[in-house]
Amino acid sequence: MVEAADRYVELVRAKAVTGALSPATAEVYARDAATLVALAGESTVLDDLTGEDVDAILLAFARKPDGRRVVPGAGLQSASSQARFRRSISALFKHAVLAGWVQINPMAMATVMARERGGLRAERRALTREQAQGLVGAARELQSVPEQGRRDQRMELRDGLIVLLLTALGPRVSELVRANVEDFFTNDGVRYWRIFGKGGRTRDVPLPADVAVALEVYLERGRGEVADKALLLSWRGRRLARGDVQAVIERVQRRVAPEQRRSVTPHGLRHTTATHLLADAVDMDAVRRVLGHSDLSTLGRYRDELPGELEVAMRAHPLLRAPKPEA
């Protein structure tokens, strides 16, 4: 078991070197492979695992305390972590079949669902339209905040741009902090962001007009003259860290009216983007390209239900509308 896991980890890390996988994804696979070995037992033979064994491993992982969460009583792994672990070990077993390490893939006989815990935490779910509009409104207002204090410590324009990019385009937080000034370009009068995503893939996403304006204002007045090519900088003039983005969102949230305010993570804003673009009947393939997915089926993970959505859809049913009068 240990030898098979080690050889698999060597493979995924080699893919990271060639650009087939991002280094962060390779490390996630490596960590999940180590967790699989720990839960199954180091002396277990990989080819001996059955569907029932995999079920037991998935349940053990679901009940494993998540050290990243400090909320009292929140000891279980989140649904998204369970789904990620399931995908990781599924990839391992798929390779094991191709490499001849196992004769039958036990994942095909596993029955435990990744969402056994009951869904994503509220902070990772999509904001309602009213909540999202409140957050966007607060981000826009930051562009007109009077300039006070030292220029290198005024972060209002940066904070507003971060929230607008996250809410309107739904990038992964890693894609956001990795962005450089040179990644933004203009073509035929339209401002684009060339996003460097997972697996070495890139996508060019057009910025909505409001976001393009916020970008220009930030570049002219908020970023300052620094040597670092990073788009988003800390007040010390260094590339913004992933962990700082949540604090930015919370700072902007404090400007939102209490009745529209709800805690949300960067990943929750990614859900918000997908949910509202799809609810507004934006083409599914266009939404897939905005979010940077290679497969349409992946959108299901990022699309949350909205209250009253079915009722609105039925009221506006395209087959039951009165025909337009002829001109």
Specify whether 63 is catalytic. no
Overall average pLDDT of the 116-130 stretch = 67
Model confidence pLDDT, tens digit, residues 207-237: 999 999 999 999 988 787 777 799 999 888 8
Q: What is the pLDDT of residue 314?
A: 62
Q: Which residue has the tokens 């007040």?
A: 235
How many CB atoms sit inside 10 A of residue 193's CB? 22
| Domain boundaries along the sequence of the chain | 2-119, 124-306
**CA dihedral of residues 20, 25, 28, 29 (deg, nearest 10):** -20
CA distance 308 to 128: 11
Q: Which of the following is catalytic: 178, 203, 270, 303?
A: 270
Query: Using CA atoms, how far apart are residues 108 and 113, in angstroms rounded to an integer?
Result: 13
Six-digit token string for 256: 């939102």
> Among the options 86, 124, 158, 172, which is catalytic?
172
CATH number assigned to the domain with residue range 124-306, chosen from the 4 options 3.90.180.10, 1.25.40.10, 1.10.443.10, 3.30.1600.10: 1.10.443.10
CATH number of the 2-119 domain:
1.10.150.130
Q: Is 302 a catalytic residue?
A: yes
User: Is 238 part of the annotated catalytic residue set?
Assistant: no
Cα 162 from Cα 96, distance rounded (Å): 42
Structure confidence at residue 73 (pLDDT)? 45
Please say if 95 is a catalytic residue: no
Q: Cα–Cα distances in Å, from 40 out to 12, 31, 156?
A: 21, 14, 50
Q: Could you tell me which residues are beta bridge partners of residue 193? A: 184, 205
Cα 307 to Cα 134: distance, rounded to the nearest angstrom: 18
Distance CA 260, CA 167 (A): 15
For residue 261, pLDDT over 70 is answered with yes
Contact 232, 224 (CB under 8 A): no
